[in-house]
Amino acid sequence: MSRWIGTANKGFAPYAMEELRRLLHDIKFQQLSSGEVFSFETELNHGAVLSAIAQHEPIFLRHIQPIERTIPLSGMADDLQELGDVVRHAGSQFAGKRTAVHIRRVEGTVFPYSAADTKAVVDAVLLELGSEPALKQPEWIISIYATRDQLLIGWGTPQELLSDWPGGAVRFQREDGQVSRAKFKLLEAERAFGLDFAQYRSALDVGAAPGGWTSLLLERGLAVTAIDPAELHPSLLAYPRLTYLKKNASDVKLAPDSFDLLVCDMSWSPMQMCKLVLELQAALRSGGIAVITVKLMHRKPLQTIREVLSRLQEAFVIRKAKQLFHNRDEITLWLEKK
C-alpha cells in the first residue's frame, strides 16, 4: 500500500483523479484543496505506482508527491524540530545529492512557519547529512505539504515527482517588452517535453497574433512564418527572419516540407483546430515537430481529447499530451509528423 498527493490545475483535479482511477484501479481519494490538490491511497506499492505513471502519464496530473511520513501539528516549535528529525532519519536518501526543499500549505493550517524558515531548518539538516541544498536543478526533492493539522512529507527525483517546481507550478519571470503571457506556455512546453527550439531552422506559427510564440522562436534563432489576420506586435516586424502573412491560415498555400516546426495556439474549437492543422501538415517535413494547444470548451474534456488525438493520428505520432501549469482551459500536445 502507498499514499500520495496529486496536484492538477485549478478546477481539473476531478479529471486527474479519473485518469488515476483508470490507471491504478483500487484507489481512494481525499480532497486537500478544492479542485486542485488531493491525496490518494492505493494497494500498489511505491515502485508500482511510479512505474504505472511513467508508462502512462496522466494528462491532468501536474505533480505527484509520495507521503513517506506524517507529523501531527501542534503549531509550536516542536513541529519544526520533528520535521528536522524526519529528514535526519532518512539521511541515506539525501547524502551526496543536490536536494531542494519544497513547501506548500493549505489555507488555515496551524503550521505557522514561513517557507523560508522551514527551508532554513531542513537545509541545516541536509548539510549535516552531506547533501547540498539546491534551488535549481536538484537531483532530489523533499516535498512538504501542510494540511490544517498535519505535515505530509515525501521525497523523490524531479522525474518521479513530474516537476522540479513546488506542486509543478512552473514560474517564469516576465520580461520588459514581453509581447504576451502566452510566451510562458511555449517556454513551459519546451521544458516539459525536453525540446530545444534552437535546434530547429524554420517554424510555422498558425494563429500567431499578437506574437508571443513567434517572439520566443525568433529569439531562439529560427526563421518564422507567422499567419494571422490580426496584427502582430510592432516590435516583431523588425526581425529579418520573420515572414508575416496577414490572412486566414485556411487561405494560405505553403510549399511541402517547408518547415521543421509547427506551433499553434488558436482559440478555436478542438475539431476546427484539428482540421486546420491537418490541412497544413504537408508543409511540415516528415519527422518535424508540432506543438499545439487544444481548447477544452466542452463538459467532457477526456472524450474531447480522445477524439482530437484520434483525428491527429492520421498524420502525426502523439509524443505527449499534457495540461501544463500555464495552460488554462486547454492542454498542450507534442506531435511528430509521420
- Residues labelled catalytic: 295
- Nearest Cα neighbor of 203 from 165, 241, 163 is 241
DSSP string, 82-109: HHHHHHHHTGGGTTTSEEEEEEEE-TT-
CA 91 from centre of chain:
29
Torsion-angle region of 168 (φ positive above 0: left; ψ -120 to 50: alpha; else: beta): left
Is residue 208 a contact partner of residue 228, using CB atoms and an 8 Å limit? Answer: yes
C-alpha cell at 98: 543536490
Q: What is the DSSP string of 27-81?
A: EEEEEEETTTEEEEEESS-HHHHHHHHHHS--SS--EEEE--EEEE--SSHHHHH
Provide the 3-class DSSP secondary structure of residue 305: helix
Separation of alpha carbons 308 and 269, rounded Å: 10
Distance between CA atoms of 267 and 280, rounded to whole angstroms?
17
Q: Please confirm whether the linkage preceding 210 is cis (ω < 30° from 0).
A: yes
The CA distance from 338 to 24, in Å, is: 32
Of the candidates 244, 218, 235, 68, the one whose C-alpha atom is nearest the C-alpha of residue 156 is 68
Instruction: Identify which of 238, 241, 200, 205 has the alpha carbon closest to the alpha carbon of residue 223.
Output: 241
DSSP 295: E
